[in-house]
Structure 1
Amino acid sequence: MIQITTEQVNEYLGLINDQNPVHENIVPGQLIVQLALTNKKLTWVAYKVKYVASVEMNESLNFELVTDEKMVISNQSDDVKLFIVKI
């Protein structure tokens, strides 16, 4: 499991120049996707993302590759947050 901190989110938002106030409490979805793909050492060029629930700051996440083409991201309570599917 990894935990995405407020500091990590703020650094990411600065890099992409995202000033959306929703990200004061919610982790940007693309940051989660990038962390998940990097964590699993995947180089998927094309993928679809299905967002199920938002990820809050300091929430712990588990990246589970359930098939060669599908990843499930869930939190410490096993609540599914999103799916990533290679296309």
Structure 2
Amino acid sequence: MKFDISLVNQYLSIIHDSNPIHQEIVPGQLVCEWLLEEVEWQHFTVRYKNPIYIDETLEKSLQDNKIKCINAQGMVKIMIEKQ
């Protein structure tokens, strides 16, 4: 998955976010929505580990009630754990 500038700008417009950092860094909540789309967890903890940059290649991994967002170099960007 890649979050391109068009998708990020569309999301920012919907949520009325004008933070200039989001011209380079993808909003964490947008990524979390993608990570959580296949599960129906009611309670979870999100840990933001490293920034996610526009057009960065990402994959998600679900194991043992944990979802990890990892880039192409294997760096964990976000971890979500079911409570």
TM-score range, shorter chain: over 0.9
Quick one: which of 72, 82, 86 aligns to 2:82?
A: 86
Quick one: which of 46, 50, 57 aligns to 2:54?
A: 57
- TM-score of the superposition, structure 2-length normalised? 0.94
CA deviations over 1:43-78 (Å, ceiling 9, x no partner): 2122111111000000011100021x2111100111
Helix, strand or coil at the partner of 1:3: coil
What is the distance in 1 between the residues matched to 2:43 and 2:14? 23
CA deviations over 1:18-57 (Å, ceiling 9, x no partner): 011111100000000001111xx11212211111100000
What is the distance in 2 between the residues matched to 1:43 and 1:10? 27
What is the RMSD computed on CA atoms of the aligned residues? 0.8
Taking every aligned residue pair, what percent have the same amino acid on both sides?
34
What is the identity, as a one-letter code, of the residue corresponding to 1:46?
A: H
Query: Match for residue 12 of structure 1?
Result: 11
Helix, strand or coil at the partner of 2:32: helix
- TM-score of the superposition, structure 1-length normalised? 0.90
Query: Match for residue 2 of structure 2?
Result: 3
> What residue ranges of structure 1 are gaps of 5+ in the alignment?
none
Equivalent residue pairs, number: 83
